[in-house]
Amino acid sequence: MDGGERIPNNVGLGQNQSLKRALEHWQPHFCEWWRQLGPTDFFAGEVYLRTAVGADAKSWARYGLVRLPEYRWGIFLAPGEADRRIGFGDDFGLPVWQQVPGEHRAALRRLIVTQADTEPASVEQQRGLGHSCPSLYDLRNLFQINVEEARHLWAMVYLLHAHFGRDGREEAEALLERHSGDRDRPRILATFNEPIEDWLSLFMFTYFTDRDGKYQLKSLAESAFDPLSRTARFMLTEEGHHLFVGDSGLSRVVRRSLEVMRDNASDDPQRVRDRGAVDLPTFQRYINFWFSSSLDLFGAEISSNAASYFASGLKGRPDEARYQDHRALGEALLLDKPDGKGGAGKEEAPLRNAMNEVARRAYVKECGVGVERWNRLIEKAGHEFRLSLPSPRFHRAIGFWAGVFADPEGKILSAGAFSARRAEWLPSAEDRAFVKSLMRAVVEPGKMAGWVAPPVHGVDHLPLDYEYVRL
Site for Fe ion in 139-158 (CB under 5 A): 149, 152
How many whole angstroms separate alpha carbon 178 and alpha carbon 117?
8
CB of 14 to ligand BYC, least distance (A): 29
For residues 228 and 97, give the distance between their C-alpha atoms in angstroms, rounded to a whole number: 10
Residue with smaller CB distance to ligand BYC, 210 or 226? 210
Per CB under 6 A, the list member of 9, 10, 51, 122 interacting with ligand BYC is: 122
For ligand BYC, which residue of 91, 124, 138, 149 counts as binding (CB under 6 A)?
149
Name the minimum Å distance from CB 302 to ligand BYC: 8
Distance of closest approach, residue 348 Cβ to ligand BYC, in angstroms: 18
What is the footprint of ligand BYC within residues 52-111 (CB under 6 A)?
Answer: 111
Task: Please give the C-alpha separations between residue 437 and each of 198, 200, 245, 278, 434, in angstroms, as whole numbers.
Answer: 9, 12, 22, 11, 5
Residue 356 binding result from ligand BYC, Fe ion, none, given CB thresholds of 5 to 8 Å by partner type: ligand BYC
By CB under 6 A, is residue 318 in contact with ligand BYC? no
Q: Kindly tell me the number of DSSP H helices and DSSP E strands found in the chain.
A: 13, 7
Minimum CB separation from ligand BYC for residue 139, in Å? 18
Interatomic CA distance for residues 238 and 214, integer angstroms: 10
Q: Phi-psi bin for 328: left (phi > 0), alpha (psi -120 to 50), beta?
A: left
Q: Rounded to whole angstroms, how far apart are CA atoms 255 and 36?
A: 36
Among the listed ranges 123-131, 207-215, 428-436, 445-453, the one in contact with Fe ion (CB under 5 A) is 207-215
Residue 115 makes contact with ligand BYC by CB under 6 A: yes
Cα-to-chain-centroid distance, residue 59: 24
Cβ–Cβ contacts within 10 Å for residue 216, how many? 22
Using CB under 6 A, which of 305, 308, 388, 428 touches ligand BYC?
A: 305
Integer CA distances (angstroms), 98 to 19, 80, 114, 124, 162, in order: 16, 10, 21, 33, 11
Residues 6+ apart with CB under 8 A from 427: 282, 285, 286, 289, 435
Q: Is 300 in the site for ligand BYC (CB under 6 A)?
A: yes
Q: How many CB atoms lie within 10 A of CB 213?
A: 23
- Which parts of 46-104 fold into alpha helices (H)? none
Q: Does 212 bind ligand BYC (CB under 6 A)?
A: yes
Distances (CA, A) of 232 to 101, 116, 189, 313, 417: 19, 11, 19, 15, 44
Restricted to residues 373-432, the positions that interact with ligand BYC (CB under 6 A) are: 398
What residue number has its CB nearest to ligand BYC? 299
- Candidates 129-137, 282-290, 300-308, 438-446: pick the segment binding ligand BYC (CB under 6 A): 300-308
Least distance to ligand BYC from the beta carbon of 211, Å? 8
Minimum CB–partner distance for residue 111 and Fe ion (Å)? 15
Q: Provide, rounded to whole angstroms, the least separation between the CB of residue 123 and ligand BYC.
A: 8
Min CB(148)–Fe ion separation in Å: 7
Rule CB under 5 A: is residue 210 a binding residue for Fe ion? yes
Give 191's DSSP letter.
G
By CB under 6 A, is residue 210 in contact with ligand BYC?
A: yes
- By CB under 5 A, name the one of 242, 256, 395, 432 that touches Fe ion: 242
CA neighbours closer than 13 Å in the CB half-sphere of residue 248? 15
Residue with Cβ nearer Fe ion (210 or 279)? 210
Of 52 and 453, the one with the shorter C-beta distance to ligand BYC is 52
Do 54 and 60 contact (CB within 8 A), yes or no? yes
Q: Between residues 115 and 284, which has the closer beta carbon with respect to ligand BYC?
A: 115
Q: Judged by CB under 6 A, which stretch of 177-185, 205-213, 370-378, 459-467 contacts ligand BYC?
A: 205-213
Closest CA to 449 of 199, 134, 142: 134
User: Minimal distance in Å, beta carbon 208 to ligand BYC?
Assistant: 9
Residue 285 interacts with, from Fe ion, ligand BYC, none (CB under 5-8 Å by kind): none
Assign 3-class secondary structure to 197-217.
CCHHHHHHHHHHHHHHHHHHH
Q: Taking a C-beta distance cutoff of 8 angstroms, is the pair 351, 307 a contact? A: no
Q: Give the span between the Cα atoms of 362 and 243, in whole angstroms.
A: 16
Q: Does 209 bind ligand BYC (CB under 6 A)?
A: yes
Number of residues that bind Fe ion (CB under 5 A): 6
Q: How far apart are CA 72 and CA 75, in angstroms?
A: 10
Smallest separation, CB 137 to ligand BYC (Å): 21
Segment interacting with ligand BYC, rule: CB under 6 A, options 112-120, 267-275, 282-290, 373-381: 112-120
Chain residues in the site for ligand BYC (CB under 6 A): 111, 114-115, 118-119, 122, 149, 189-190, 209-210, 212-213, 216, 296-300, 303, 305-306, 315, 356, 398
Chain residues in the site for Fe ion (CB under 5 A): 119, 149, 152, 210, 213, 242
